[in-house]
Amino acid sequence: MRIIISNKFYYYRGGDCIYCINLEELLKSKGHDVAVFAMDFPENIDNEYAAYFPSKVSFSEGGIKGKINAFRRILSCPEVKSKFRKLIKDFKPDVVHLNNIHSYLSPVLAEIAKENNIRLIWTLHDYKLICPSYCCLRDDRPCELCFNDKFNVVKTKCMKGSILASVIAYIESEFWNRERIQRNVDMFICPSRFLSEKMMQGGYHSSKLKVLPNFSNEKIIDGEISRKNDYYLYVGRLSYEKGMITLLETAKDLDYTLYIAGSGPLEYELKEKYRKNNNIKFLGHLNKENLNNYIKNSKFVVMPSEWYENNPLSGIESLLLGTPLLGAEIGGIPELINDDNGCLFESGNKDSLKSKINLMFSTEYNNGKIAENAYSLYNKERYYEELMKIYN
């Protein structure tokens, strides 16, 4: 088959980007021809189809002209349409597989694909199609007001706390409304049942929603691992919705050592606030090899989110390394966890988190079995088999 994978960025940035790069590698390994369509961004990986990429736009760069160009891109601009049409004409795909394309590329790609009678698949990495601000958050708490009335984004100013940004998000949601998008998409891939249920709650047809959890491109554990198990680990963005405040306020009063791998908007503030707490250690951003070593040697990985996590890749990869999870009972996190590989706590509840941290340190888990079970669920062969059913 000939497949176009589209995502607004094409480098190791977030879970959506990692998914797309892994998907490209997987499909090519199976003998398919794959083209990529992304925004022309300085950090992009080299790609033979880069000449088709539309130019970079940004709301934060280029002054008024830059903001105007970025706004035009939200509604679809001539450059995006002409370059994507040219790629379709030259590459002649059987399938177009969209990912995070809002704002920088826009859903016009779906319309162009359908104009050319090409099967259109869309993997959802967030809640953009039902929440104009992507994340179902208002005042740092889960919110579903916009599921059936998008004007709430303006009323609450929940897009970056800005009335202008919220108005733009509302215009985008009305321009690319549910009916317009849904008629051009053959199937939405939802990495979690939770996301699928929220999409239906927002009015999308169940017949166009397929639950298919994310995957890893390789088996990253083989047999048992010698573990230190003298600390627990957080992996991810240092931001409020990830539950960082709840986690650190709980961790500072415990005897166990918490390592924190990642960066984000709260990084400096948190480092300053907890610099005298010897049981909290900030590792910053780690390369893959170093991160895997920390995961392998941790007693467990904690996922303290206070927003609707979808199907976090960090959780999947921790399980593949045989490391159990302590997860907040919110979003798609509970779908990763059972009695054999970890436990859940009440999201945002410090007492519940403290109790479960103590429980995790007193519980012995079969690390090899955790990895084996995770591999059976999240390996690339299983994912490929299910994906081919969707593509066809």
What is d(CA 302, CA 48) in angstroms, rounded to the nearest whole number? 39
What is the pLDDT at residue 288? 87
What is the pLDDT at residue 113? 97
Rg (CA), the chain: 21
Question: In this structure, what token pair is assigned to residue 118?
Answer: 């090409």
The model's pLDDT over 287-322, given as tens digits with 9 standing for 90+, comes to: 988 999 999 999 999 999 999 999 999 999 999 999
The model's pLDDT over 173-230, given as tens digits with 9 standing for 90+, comes to: 999 999 999 999 999 999 999 999 999 999 999 999 999 999 986 666 655 566 778 9
What is the pLDDT at residue 238? 95
Whether the Cβ atoms of residue 280 and residue 260 lie closer than 8 Å to each other: yes
Question: In this structure, what token pair is assigned to residue 77?
Answer: 């601009």
349 SS3 class: coil
Residue 85, Cβ neighbours under 10 Å: how many?
Answer: 15
**pLDDT of 283 above 80:** yes
The model's pLDDT over 22-81, given as tens digits with 9 standing for 90+, comes to: 999 999 999 999 999 999 999 999 999 999 999 988 777 767 777 787 888 888 789 999
Domains of the chain: 2-217+379-391 (3.40.50.2000), 231-377 (3.40.50.2000)
How does the average pLDDT of the chain come out, rounded? 93
What is d(CA 247, CA 264) in angstroms, rounded to the nearest whole number? 15
In three-state form (DSSP H/G/I as H, E/B as E, the rest C), the secondary structure along 43-58 is CCCCCCCHHHCCCCCC
Taking residues 97-118, report their average pLDDT.
95
Query: How distant, in Å, are the alpha carbons of 7, 121, 127 from that of 96?
Result: 11, 6, 20
210 SS3 class: strand
Whether the Cβ atoms of residue 96 and residue 118 lie closer than 8 Å to each other: yes
Q: Containing H/E element for 280?
A: strand 280-284
What is d(CA 163, CA 175) in angstroms, rounded to the nearest whole number? 18
What is d(CA 359, CA 364) in angstroms, rounded to the nearest whole number? 10
- Residue 151: which residues within 8 A CB-CB, separation 6 or more? 170
Beta bridge partner(s), residue 235: 261
Query: How distant, in Å, are the alpha carbons of 161, 188, 323 from that of 200?
Result: 27, 11, 33
Taking residues 337-346, report their average pLDDT.
97
2 SS3 class: strand
What is d(CA 367, CA 324) in angstroms, rounded to the nearest whole number? 7
For Cα atoms 288, 57, 7, give the angle at the middle one, nearest 5 degrees: 45
How many H helices and E strands in the chain?
A: 15, 14
CB burial of 121-137 (b: ≥16 within 10 Å; e: otherwise) equals bbbbbbbbbbbbbbbbb
Whether the Cβ atoms of residue 375 and residue 321 lie closer than 8 Å to each other: no
- Model-level pTM? 0.93
Best CA proximity match to 191, nearest among 31, 72, 324, 23: 23
